[in-house]
Every structure is written in C-alpha cells, then in structure tokens.
Amino acid sequence: MSYAADRRILDADSHLMEPLDWLEGYADEATRAKLWALDVSGGGGRSDAELVEACWARRDDPVATARLAADVVRGPKGYFAYGSMDPAERSVALDQLGFAGQLVFSTFAPVQFAKSDDLDLVYGGAAAHNRGIVDFCGADARLLPVGYLPLEDPERAVACVEEALELGVAALWVNHAEPATVSPTHPAYDGVWARLAEAKVPFAFHLGGVNSNQMAASYHNNGRDPGKDFIGSGENLRSKDFPHVHHDAENLLTCFVLDGTFEQFPDLRCAVVELGAGWVPNLMRSLDACIHAFGRNEPELAKLTMKPSEYLRRQVRFTPWHFEDVAWLIDSAGPELFLFSSDWPHPEGGRDPLGDFNANLAAAAVAPASQQRFYAENFADFFAC
C-alpha cells in the first residue's frame, strides 16, 4: 500500500534536487558562459559538491539503488533521496508516495542567475530553468512543473511567460522579496498578470530561491550559541527566522489586493508555498480593516468591489506547515484556502506530514468534505487538474 493509502492527494510542494550541471544542459551558449556556479549549501545537511556527484553516481550501484527504492517514504532526504535527481526514479518514488500529482519546484538553480544585474543572464537563465523543469516532469503526467519568472523587466517578463506557457508549466515561481524600485502591481506589469490570468496558470511565492529566509544578521549577533538550523547545519532557518519568513509575501499580497491587481484580473491566481499559514486569518482581518481606516482618503480603495479578504479567498491558496493547526485554520478562515504539501524530498517537510495533518484534522473532528478539500479538491480547482 502507498503512503497515501486510499486517499486522493495532490501535493502542492515537492522539489528537484539539481545535479551540478543541470542548468547548463538547458542553457544557450551565451547564457551558459555566464551562469554562476551551483551552490548546494543546505542540500540535506551536506554542501560538498563531490557528495552530490556521489549521489548522482549511486544510480550505477544496483544494490544501493534497490535499498533506497525499497522504502522511499522512510528513506533519506535531500540529495540522498531516491528520485531526488533522476526523473525515472522520481516516478517510482511517486508510486510509493501514492500522490495523484505534485508540483515540482527546483531547489538551488535560480541562484545561478536570478540575482545578477545582467538581464540577459537573468532571462536566459530563467528560460533554461523552465526548459529543464518541464523536461524533468515530462514523462509522468503526475509531475507538474513550476517554472521561474523574473520580474526585473516587464516586457521581457511577458516574453518569459509566453515561452513558459508554450512549454507547459503548471505554475510560475515569482520572487516575493522587497522590490528594488517598482512594485509588481505597477501598471507596467499588467501584461504579465493579464497573460497568466488568461491562461489560468497561477504564479507562486515560495520559501528560499533568491528570497532571504533569515532575519537581519544583526539579530543573531547576540553573544549566544545560535544552535543548528532546520537541516542540522548553519545556513537555513533557525527559530528566530521562522516567524519572519512570510513577511515579504504578506506585504506583496497586500499590494495585490489593495492596489487592485486582483480586482483588475479576477482570474489571476497565486499559491503561497512553504511559508506557513498561521498568519493568514490575521491578514484577512487586517486587510478588511484597511477599508474602514483608509477608505475615505485613498481613491484606489474605493475601486474595490469586494471586501479585501474576499480577493484572497477567491484568488490565493496557502500551504500550512505540517506542524501547524490546520483544523484551526480551516475553522478560522474557511476550507477553501489551504493545500496539502509534503515538500518532498526536502527535510523541512517532516518525516510524516500526512500523519501530522491526519492527526490534527481527526482530533478536531473536521468534516470529511473539508478534509478532502485540503488534501485534493482545492488543488484540483486551483490548478485545473
């Protein structure tokens, strides 16, 4: 029996762990010459490139491969996981997990291009990334590729969207960090959001990538033992970082609502992935309070035809952490807002996310229909699958 057993589950977060030369293999010659080296810091607690190569070469060892394939669910995570890098193995791993589908994000590849000041590299790297992630998912319809969309240049962003849609991406990952100069809700970006809305392909915010996960370093300069992070090293999340990780995404969602972008493009959809969801009920209340506090003085607010929270309810979905109280979230904000995610094979997803969610929902006696919305139906509606 699979990990999912007889329950239909659609997984809103999984990852490819990129081989060291993965992006280069999909880049054109000019982009390939400019790509930054792949930094695999945080890839399962080890950062040595030789170890990544050893994980890749493990496929040539039938004994080691059979041992990993025998128990994917309880096996190692990160680069060590069966199916982390090889698409054929990934299909076998998905058989054991038993999920009917899963979004597939890259892990480290955007750092090879997305922080550059060279827009030819930024958009050339995104094109290579999108070809690569679609290729990884191409042989198994259950694997739903998430492309990458840089917003540095509105016109080039539209072209990037068009190419990604032609390739067949299921969603496009957008950097949710503080914009350098112009908000993504500026009219200059209307072409981007109009095209995604027309295609009914969501954009996504996600932990990591080119976004900062940590609080400012000065907060950690406290003369105390910092301890280890999520994955047992020192470059990922620690306890003080954790309440901070969603703040930039929350700010940007506020702009999409109050600047009227969701009003202007009612078919535009956004998935907020691996940023938790405990903050969502308060955001909904705060956005509604903005109308009462500022509605008389800000003309853009008068153009909204719904309560601000209703735009989130209509157009945004969130993935709770496996240790959050998802039953309380459903009760507080509604059953339509939340999606199951495993984060496989990243260790942050926990050893048994399905067990954690099941226990929480059962203890609170959440109605079976609401449970199934969380596990599959919300995803199917949102991603049209």
Mind listing the pLDDT tens digit for each residue in 139-175? 999 999 999 999 999 999 999 999 999 999 999 999 9
Please state which of the ranges 72-86, 215-229, 324-338 shows the lowest mean pLDDT: 215-229
Is the N-terminal amide bond of 345 cis, ω within 30° of 0? yes
Task: Yes or no: say if 316 and 270 are a contact pair by the CB < 8 Å rule.
Answer: yes
DSSP 1-51: --TTTTS--EEEEEE----TTTTGGGS-HHHHTTPPPP--TTSSS---HHH
Amino acid 231: pLDDT? 57
Amino acid 98: pLDDT? 98
Here the tokens at position 105 are: 């994000």
Res. 41 pLDDT band, cuts 50 70 90: low
Q: Is 60 exceeded by the pLDDT of residue 317?
A: yes
Mean of the per-residue pLDDT values for the chain?
A: 93
Amino acid 89: pLDDT? 98
Amino acid 240: pLDDT? 80
Res. 342 pLDDT band, cuts 50 70 90: very high
Q: Is 80 exceeded by the pLDDT of residue 44?
A: no
More confident residue, 135 or 226: 135
Mind listing the pLDDT tens digit for each residue in 88-99? 999 999 999 999
Q: Is 60 exceeded by the pLDDT of residue 354?
A: yes
* CA–CA–CA angle 307, 310, 315 (5° rounding): 140
Q: What is the pTM of this model?
A: 0.94
Overall average pLDDT of the 116-121 stretch = 97
Amino acid 282: pLDDT? 97
Domains of the chain: 10-382 (3.20.20.140)
Amino acid 225: pLDDT? 77
Amino acid 42: pLDDT? 56
Overall average pLDDT of the 288-310 stretch = 95
Task: Yes or no: say if 94 and 143 are a contact pair by the CB < 8 Å rule.
Answer: yes
DSSP 263-281: HH-TT--EEEESS-STTHH
Mind listing the pLDDT tens digit for each residue in 204-261? 999 986 666 667 777 777 788 777 666 554 456 777 877 778 999 999 999 999 999 9
Overall average pLDDT of the 27-45 stretch = 83
